[in-house]
Structure 1
Amino acid sequence: MRIAVVHNYTKESIKVSEKLKALLLKASFEVGKQNPEIVISVGGDGTLLSAFHRYAHLLDQVRFIGVHTGHLGFYTDWREYNIEELVTSLENDNGEYIQYPLLDVEVTYENGEKAKHFLALNESTIKRVDGTLVCDVYIKNEHFERFRGDGLCISTPTGSTGYNKSVGGAVLHPRLEALQLTEMASLNNRVFRTLSSPLVIAPDEWIKIKPIEPTNFTLTVDQLVSDEEKIEFLKFRIADERIRFAQYQHTHFWNRVEDAFLGAKKNNGN
């Protein structure tokens, strides 16, 4: 089995990565970055997002594992104290996995430039650089509303606990395979009006955003940032691809949510 180990550059992550590589080599695994079957991310969620984008072209053959070395790791199931158990699980691997939906982002330009495609594990946002974002929002090609505000966030169910939650979106279980559209500081008064509520979109539908003034936008896809001009429209849908996590020690989704957002309070006995 070929295993890639990806880490951030904190002292703790480097130390854990070196220990893990030594254990993997001792167990006769092939460790390297090229064409892996397993990708082990050592760090936090940002490290796993980087690993996902590095190997997004191999999603049909690769499974991911997260080893947590920071303060909060929503996608990580393992810690330094049980990486020996992780290696044992790899030795007894039977190919099992749990998979999560991804977001397909398509950007179409006014000037006929070839459309761009991106995959997001968490979310994609569009924001106006130098003023209010004004755009028409379509659901499955039907006009829904004209949005005015700071920006829009389109998230996956697993990404619903990230930036989406911080701007008022709902937390969705990943088995729903739905998209969520959440507004950022929308303008609502007697002249301008939006729904001003998160929208949960069915898996067979899609969202299209058409800017009214198609210049100077910042598009984010997870932690990747791109400055865009002359966008004709953006289309968001559930991707055909899925991300797969090796299912050796996989924490239940609601346990992750509870641990991430309520754990400290529970531990204080409140």
Structure 2
Amino acid sequence: MQNRNNIFFFYHPRQEGEKTDYLKSIAEQNDLHVVNNPKDASIIVSFGGDGTFLQAVRKTGFRQDCIYTGITDDDQIGLYCDFSITRFDEMIDAVTNNKIEVRRFPAIKVSVDGEKAFYCLNEVSLRSSIIKTIVINVKIDGEHFETFRGDGMVVSTPTGSTGYSKSARGAVIDPLLSSFQVSEVASLNNNSYRTLGSSFILSQDRKLQLEVIQDGNDYPIISLDNEAWPVQRIHHVDIEMDETVIKTVKMKNNTFWNRVQRTFL
């Protein structure tokens, strides 16, 4: 079992320097042991922005037995990053003196063509890779729901609903709701193709399948969070939820809706 005082810092190699040395020194001054392997840590800290936080969670394997937290390298707080480098000592104080609450963000599980499943904290998107619309059969719990034709589809978690999904006119969903959202990107609606025309939300017990119709779009682009997935041909993408959540540090006066307000209003 990992030592509860072990802390790992995740950041891009180009960021290593004075700022990361400062973070590590503050941690050590507060009796936290900085480790070089994330498997040995009970606290994983990303240093960068929201994109870095997503990478930290993915690269460390969506750990269920540790706490993740994000720190920005400026004074801007992100949707996943609750702290800036100038407030890092506040986070350390909160962690070491039990002044925090644990926030749990649900993830979605994605399988491409029945292969090994991967998790997403933000979203999975399926888009055309050529100057041509993509056709997708949408199935819910194994039953055909609609046939989509357009630029692509986005399936997001509640926290991911503030990203690409919101740009596709999806709703912002409270992360206390274990659900995932399906949003269309530039759908065609005519006599041949008819879709719901709006985002829809599925409960955690539903299973979604996006079946790509091979009509020239045999090589669509699929992205998991902020990372493209190198698949040469995609026939179907299966999406569901299980009990996987990401635990993060939450200050008692900084809720999800506080951060949404601060970011968009």
TM-score between the two structures when normalised by the length of structure 1: 0.87
The 3-state SS of whatever aligns with 1:239 is coil
Greater Cα offset, 183-192 or 117-126: 183-192
Matching residue of 1:127: 127
Q: CA deviation at 1:73?
A: 1.0
Matching residue of 1:203: 204
Q: Distance in 1 between matches of 2:253 and 2:163?
A: 19
**Structure 1 segments unaligned to the other structure (5+ residues):** 110-114, 263-270
The 3-state SS of whatever aligns with 2:51 is helix
Amino acid paired to 1:168: R
The change in CA–CA distance for 1:188 and 1:140 in structure 2 (over 3 A counts) is same
Matching residue of 2:140: 139
Q: CA deviation at 1:254?
A: 1.1
Pick from 53, 66, 73 the counterpart of residue 69 of structure 1: 73
Q: CA deviation at 1:10?
A: 6.8
The CA deviation string for residues 187-222 of structure 1, in whole angstroms up to 9 with x for no partner, is 112322111100101111021011111721111001
The 3-state SS of whatever aligns with 1:194 is coil
Matched length: 255
Q: CA deviation at 1:248?
A: 4.3
Q: Distance in 2 between matches of 1:235 and 1:226?
A: 15
Q: How much identity, in percent, do the aligned residues show?
A: 31
Q: CA deviation at 1:9?
A: 5.9
Q: CA deviation at 1:253?
A: 1.2
Amino acid paired to 1:65: T
Matching residue of 2:35: 32
Q: Distance in 2 between matches of 1:255 and 1:246?
A: 15
The change in CA–CA distance for 1:177 and 1:65 in structure 2 (over 3 A counts) is same
Amino acid paired to 1:204: D
1:81 equivalenced with 2:86 (yes/no): yes
Matching residue of 1:189: 190
Amino acid paired to 2:218: T
The CA deviation string for residues 75-100 of structure 1, in whole angstroms up to 9 with x for no partner, is 11112332222222232248852111
The change in CA–CA distance for 1:159 and 1:250 in structure 2 (over 3 A counts) is farther
Pick from 86, 91, 95 the counterpart of residue 90 of structure 1: 95
Q: Distance in 2 between matches of 1:224 and 1:84?
A: 31
2:7·2:33 contact (CA, 8 Å) conserved in 1? yes
Matching residue of 1:244: 247
Matching residue of 1:41: 46
The CA deviation string for residues 4-24 of structure 1, in whole angstroms up to 9 with x for no partner, is 01224676x854322110011
**Structure 2 segments unaligned to the other structure (5+ residues):** none
Q: Distance in 2 between matches of 1:178 and 1:225?
A: 23
Q: CA deviation at 1:239?
A: 3.3
Q: CA deviation at 1:159?
A: 0.2
The change in CA–CA distance for 1:55 and 1:18 in structure 2 (over 3 A counts) is same
1:257 equivalenced with 2:260 (yes/no): yes
Q: Distance in 1 between matches of 2:24 and 2:98?
A: 17
The change in CA–CA distance for 1:78 and 1:61 in structure 2 (over 3 A counts) is same
The 3-state SS of whatever aligns with 2:173 is coil
TM-score between the two structures when normalised by the length of structure 2: 0.89
Q: Distance in 2 between matches of 1:86 and 1:94?
A: 9
The change in CA–CA distance for 1:184 and 1:190 in structure 2 (over 3 A counts) is same
CA RMSD in angstroms, aligned pairs only: 2.1
1:169 equivalenced with 2:173 (yes/no): no
The 3-state SS of whatever aligns with 1:3 is strand
The 3-state SS of whatever aligns with 1:176 is coil
Pick from 52, 55, 74 the counterpart of residue 50 of structure 1: 55
Pick from 218, 222, 225 the counterpart of residue 222 of structure 1: 225
2:150·2:188 contact (CA, 8 Å) conserved in 1? yes
Q: Distance in 2 between matches of 1:9 and 1:208?
A: 37
